[in-house]
Structure 1
Amino acid sequence: MPTLETAADLLKLLADTDTEWRENAQLEALTLAVAADLPVLLWGEPGIGKTAALNQLAAALDLPLTTVIASVHEPSDFSGLPVLGDDPAVQGVPMAPPDWAVRLVKAGRGLLFLDELSTAPPAVQAALLRVVLERRIGALTLPPGVRIVAAANPRSSAADGWELSAPLANRFVHLQWTFEHDVVVRGLGGVWPSARLPELDAHRLSEAVTFARRAVCGLLSARPKLVHQLPATETRRGGAWPSPRSWDMALRLVAFATAADTSRDVLSMLVRGAVGDGPGLELLASLDRMDLPDPEELLHDPASAVLPERGDLRQAVLDAVVEAVRRRPTRERWDAAWAILARAVETGPPDLVVVPATTLAAQRDDDWELPPALERLAGVVSLSRAADRATTRR
């Protein structure tokens, strides 16, 4: 048998690997963003498996993979080559798309992989703007069944790397791609993690959209400066940052994550990859507060009040109760608020009650008698004041 045929047999055996489902947050984040039809950009050092992950994703989703190395193409390869027709003065000059775009349109579905994006010069990045956002290549429009994923190395490790332009960066969901030791070892042993689309609950779609809109709009109403924040440095502009476009992506991701009951780790990767770390973490915190009990319900039945276990959420509930009494102060509501604070002392850290208790005490009318619940809080408040006085003396 010829040597090359034997070598081919050995290569076939080496390529014969299997897949298994296992928890992998970054792979789940990638598949959810792909399901949401949002362009994704994988950032990672060379050789850690970005391209291999895309090949495996395309195979798992049964999508034909089209790989385009952005840095070896001219701008006209994405904007289209002008082709003269019979009468340009009447019909104009059409822009002919490249062959890979024609194949994608004919197939009607596929995964377009834009590799080595950070090595593409500024002129090519500018030509990619319509490809990524409008899905137009020359005179063609990519069909809805085509998804777009890109990969890039940090400028420090890219060959002749460029910073990503702000307009192009703001069109992507940015995911930091890293390797897990056990995943690599098991994969080299022949079993890689499998990718699969999230299972969306058909009965929760409307609820998921309402929840996502309420979360994003509620945050931006309270924090209007987060709507658009162009970073000051060129490096940060090449990553995730908040704009109306990226907030729209974050809203879509929250809706998909809610309908799929995605873990908080995966949702955190996605929203921070859309609007940046700071705004993304604020959105996650606001999602937590959306599930907090209504302060009016707590004031209506303080004896049955169930307070969150997490300290920051418990503090937010107590502050909301005191604020509700301030907006509509009555003797009954004031007494109920003290009962809730007493319950908080009995079921959690007493230091969380000090500030709400001090604020609530200042709302007392002269003719209101001290409630019985206040006796259970007197020690906590007096101890805190003594500690404050000692700190001031020091």
Structure 2
Amino acid sequence: MILASAEARRSDSMNQHYADTITALGVALLADVPVVLWGDPGQGKSSVIEGLGEDLGVHVETVIASLHEPTDFGGIPAIDPVAGTARKLPPDWAKRVVEFGMQGKGSIVFYDEISTTPPATQAALLRPILTGWVGDIRLPASTRSVAAANPPDIAADGWDLAPPLANRLLHLEWALPADVVRDGFTIGWPKVTISRVDDRAVQDGFAEGKALIGAFLNARPELVTKMPASSEDAGRAFPTPRSWEMAAKLYSTAKAAGCNDTVVVMLLNGAIGVPAAGEFTEFLRKLDLPDPEGLLHDPESYVVPVARGDKVFATAASVFTAMSREITGERWLACGTILAKIADAGLADMAFMYARRWAQNDVRPRGALPTQEHMRALAPILTEMGLLTRGVAAPA
């Protein structure tokens, strides 16, 4: 009975992991982040993507990447007899995607078996996945990219993914629990849920996510870029400025969609790698930031935690980001007060980083002037921006 109970818990855990993976895939499609699904052969990756296309009413174009040449993605060179110039003719699969787009129907391009694709072909894949260009035509903006890969140690004639390609993809581990297979054969495969999200919430969350990542990287600059030691690890997720931005995009979309923390961590792991994601999530857990809107409402209540430079940096970032979403004279002055408090606490470098942007004309509301407190604490930046030489200030 104990064994049965343990097996049931294990089954529930596996099913939940599969459900979270499905949700993470949906978030990536919503955020327009290309995905690679890693798993053993025969794990239903193709079936799920095809079912997803049916559920969403979009065309699924399956491209067996290992059977294609680089020209199938970069375009087939040809001479235009009329113009006398060289062209790059698109393959049939790209034409079909464009034709569906002209009919108002979106597409998912499913690049299968990319881990058995030679490096030259992997390099050619970058163009359609990142820019949407295939030869001389561009895929519709609504096109989404999903790839499937088998680990090189089990793939026939397998190759590690080239780092430039790997660093541009969200990596998700894919496995089918027995219960999911049973249900798939009897009542149907699980659906990929793609939530509707408010665009403004995603944009605000993206700004917040970048601010939090900036605060983290200020404390851990060695993680801005960290190349893996082995070629196998370099074919998976690892941190670079590009993948950190991807992480911010996925983080904001997942938060706007109301995803649980497990899905958020899964997305971060798949964007920047488990070690960097683990440090970042632990950083977020320990931050315990004050509500930026609360500080903008009552800036005098802010007490600078001098011993927690990481928290101060993140607070400055979150307050400036919140102020930027809705700029009024009152909120602009409140943000300046927070920055002045940080400078007065001996952390002027952090305050000046945001004060320089805060004082610019495209941020400062028309007619708004820094107070005497701002003038004193932020003098170097305000002088640089030309606000001290005018000899004017708002009342303290």
Same-fold call, TM > 0.5? yes
Question: Once the two structures are superposed, what CA deviation does each residue of 1:117-154 show, in whole Å capped at 9, x if it has no partner?
Answer: 00111121111121222221111121111000000001
Distance in 1, Cα, partners of 2:174 & 2:289:
33
Distance in 2, Cα, partners of 1:222 & 1:140:
44
Selected match of 1:138 from 129, 135, 138: 135
- Number of aligned residue pairs: 279
Tell me which structure has the larger Cα radius of gyration.
Answer: 1
Partner of 2:97: 104
Q: Give the C-alpha shift of residue 322 in structure 1.
A: 8.4
Distance in 2, Cα, partners of 1:239 & 1:219:
22
* CA root-mean-square deviation: 2.4
TM-score (norm 1): 0.66
SS in 1 for 2:47: helix
CA contact (8 A) 2:18 2:176 kept: no
Q: Give the C-alpha shift of residue 286 in structure 1.
A: 2.7
Q: Give the C-alpha shift of residue 283 in structure 1.
A: 2.0
Q: What 5-or-longer segments of structure 2 have no aligned partner?
A: 1-15, 295-303, 310-396
- What amino acid does structure 2 have at the position aligned with 1:251? A
Cα 1:259–1:244 change in 2 (3 A) is: same
Q: What 5-or-longer segments of structure 1 have no aligned partner?
A: 1-20, 298-319, 326-394
Partner of 1:121: 118
Partner of 1:93: 86
Tell me if 1:323 matches 2:307: yes
SS in 2 for 1:83: strand
- What amino acid does structure 1 have at the position aligned with 2:78? V
Partner of 2:63: 68
Distance in 1, Cα, partners of 2:90 & 2:50:
24
CA contact (8 A) 2:73 2:125 kept: yes
SS in 2 for 1:112: strand
Distance in 2, Cα, partners of 1:229 & 1:22:
28
Distance in 2, Cα, partners of 1:290 & 1:207:
19
Distance in 2, Cα, partners of 1:123 & 1:202:
38
SS in 1 for 2:265: helix
SS in 1 for 2:175: coil
Distance in 1, Cα, partners of 2:202 & 2:240:
25
Distance in 1, Cα, partners of 2:67 & 2:79:
25
Distance in 2, Cα, partners of 1:203 & 1:247:
21
Tell me if 1:159 matches 2:156: yes
Partner of 2:228: 231
Structure 2 counterparts to residues 1-394 of structure 1, below 5 A: 24-86=19-81, 92-108=85-101, 109-201=106-198, 204-292=201-289, 323=307
Question: Once the two structures are superposed, what CA deviation does each residue of 1:82-124 show, in whole Å capped at 9, x if it has no partner?
Answer: 1111366xx5301000011011112222000000000111121
Distance in 2, Cα, partners of 1:182 & 1:290:
39
Cα 1:77–1:204 change in 2 (3 A) is: closer
- Greater shift, 133-142 or 166-175, is seen at 133-142
- What amino acid does structure 2 have at the position aligned with 1:289? K
CA contact (8 A) 2:94 2:139 kept: yes
TM-score (norm 2): 0.66
